Copies of this chain bind each other. A is one copy, B any other.
């Protein structure tokens, strides 16, 4: 880590994450129009579930990046307890 500007997220991860965010925002825009046009509620709900799935995929992507960078570095730097504590917190949040 010496002398280098370390980034939390690798460039590929953040690019992929921003692409997913675009998709999610477009999807939400579609849901907005459905509600404004009084689309049948069941159809709107089907779309909100699809957005939830898309957010879970974004999370998996971010977690993948996090494990490959900050977690590995943390363990190698002897900060085991910190990185494990954070992973358990995230796991609990994901299941709440």
Contacts and interface: CB of A to CB of B under 8 A. Distances in A.
Interface of A: 7-9, 14, 17-18, 21, 24-25, 28, 31-32, 35-36, 38-42, 44-46, 48-49, 51-53, 55-56, 58-60, 62-72, 75-76, 80, 84, 86-96
Given A7-B38, A48-B58, A63-B91, 8 more contacts: A8-B39, A8-B40, A9-B41, A14-B38, A18-B32, A44-B62, A45-B62, A75-B76
Given A35-B14, A38-B9, A52 B56 contact: yes
A78 B42 CA distance: 18
B49 A93 contact: yes
Contacts of A59: 45, 48-49, 52
